[in-house]
Amino acid sequence: MGSSGSHLSGVWAKVTDLKVVRGEGCRVFDVNGDAYLDFTAGIAAASTGHCHPTVVKAIAEQAHRFVHAQVNVYEHDLLEPVAARLAELTPPSIDTFFFSNSSDEILEAAVKVAKHATGRSSIITFDGAFHGRTLLTMAMSTSRAIDREGYGPFPSGVHVAPFPDPHASDQESEISRALRGLDRLFQTQIVARDVAAIFVEPVIGERGYIPTPPAFVAGLAERCAEHGILFIADETQSGFGRTGKMFAIEAHDVEPDILCMAKGIASGFPFAALGMRRSIDDKWRPGSHGGSSNGTPIGCAAALATIEVLTADGFLDNVRNRGTQLIDELRNFQQLDDALLHVRGRGLMVATEFDTPERAAAIVEHCLEHSKVILMTAGTRKRTIRWMPPLIVTADEIDEATAAFSAAIRATG
Ligand SMILES: Cc1ncc(COP(=O)(O)O)c(C=O)c1O
């Protein structure tokens, strides 16, 4: 037992010290019965909110039919329906699906299939990207050096290309600079014909909710086409309605070869999917990948129910409207406080960036202590507060959260 009297590992970073017993909609309830407005949505995973009745019902019903049906041994009856539904929702290039439990597993699977499909050994990620915490996905992640500290050396074959600085005043030349950096990487580090894939977050997540500029994405897609490199979109955080579109990549004029999906896909139930072109899957050697709990029946049920909620008439309109409301309300505070440097976002993937990490942390703490609103930071220097409520959030709940923010700004200024 640890010195705190707990049998739990101390490795998890803590956003709050709350001990919670249940969740409902946008709220979680702690052991004292106090309700907290959860604007983290379990780090953008609880897409339909906590315990959405449609999702709970589907999970409960499925638990009575099958908890575990191992995919190598037999095929249960929800695998094809989930794949068929995803084929309808994902970009037209994506028609074939592999299922697993977490984004890390899906990102690793993406690297493996890209290697088989191209016969090439290396991949490219971008400066500031975050793709996970296994050793390979950490090798792909450069959002914060402290997350990598003490864990190296990492798997080789991962090259990090420049990402345009979102705060550069001349965005056009900044994007050209970053693309030239990639071209130079092909001259100095690895020839393009050895690169299997590039991994792109259509909206950068952990580094601080930065929409990836369309001209940059277009430049990457051009280079992929020229050199036979697969374009892989990591939609772990930005997918399933988070940005007001089913997938954030829809805002770009590109058809990804592979799409990584997790978090919101099953309302936070551990489930993740890799979408790809059939021609890519055809080159994935049968039997060369898998896992005991791939495509679990309960995960599939949770995903189907989540998709039912997210595709209901007007659902994504609400995400866009609430996102606009949130950004408008947050922008008002820029007139009050010079420390609030930037307000940005797409849909309900919104960021408020402050001048110092201390100020951002003080505001998060004030919102929790005084208003029972849960927020959390992001970014390399943790100067950004990210706003990622459940997608079912109401206008009143947005007002409640921004009122908490207003009080915190005044109290900590
Ligand atoms: C784009 C992206 N990829 C991968 C991950 C890793 O997801 P998880 O923390 O669920 O393993 C994250 C997590 O925030 C992410 O934002």
pLDDT per position as a tens digit, 265-303: 999 999 999 999 999 999 999 999 999 999 999 999 999
CA-nearest of 123, 246, 106 to 190 is 123
Testing ligand 1's pocket by substitution, the residue of 101, 130, 137, 234 carrying the most ligand atoms inside 8 A of its CB is: 130
pLDDT band at 3 (very low <50, low <70, confident <90, very high): low
pLDDT (tens digit per residue) in 321-334: 999 999 999 999 99
Is the predicted pLDDT of residue 1 greater than 80, yes or no? Answer: no
Ligand 1 atom nearest 44 alpha carbon: 14
CA 30 to chain centre: 26
pLDDT (tens digit per residue) in 220-242: 999 999 999 999 999 999 999 99
**Is residue 107 within 8 Å of 132, Cβ to Cβ?**
yes
Q: Which two tokens stand for residue 190?
A: 């690895």
CA 83 → CA 265, 282, 295, 311, 315, distances in Å?
12, 16, 10, 16, 22
Distance in Å, CA 102 to ligand 1 centroid: 9
**Cα distance between residue 272 and residue 295, in whole Å:** 8
CA-nearest of 239, 295, 290, 233 to 267 is 239
pLDDT band at 14 (very low <50, low <70, confident <90, very high): very high
Pocket lining for ligand 1, CB < 6 angstroms: 43, 102-104, 130-132, 201, 205-206, 234, 236-237, 262-263
Testing ligand 1's pocket by substitution, the residue of 263, 265, 376 carrying the most ligand atoms inside 8 A of its CB is: 263
Testing ligand 1's pocket by substitution, the residue of 102, 142, 206 carrying the most ligand atoms inside 8 A of its CB is: 206
pLDDT (tens digit per residue) in 118-170: 999 999 999 999 999 999 999 999 999 999 999 999 999 999 999 999 999 99
| Complete domains list, the chain, with CATH | 20-38+313-412 (3.90.1150.10), 54-310 (3.40.640.10)
**Is residue 49 within 8 Å of 390, Cβ to Cβ?**
yes
Cis, peptide link before residue 202, omega less than 30° from 0: no
Nearest 5°: CA angle at 71, between 102 and 232?
A: 40
* Mean pLDDT of the residues in the chain: 97
Which letter does DSSP use for residue 329 in this model? H
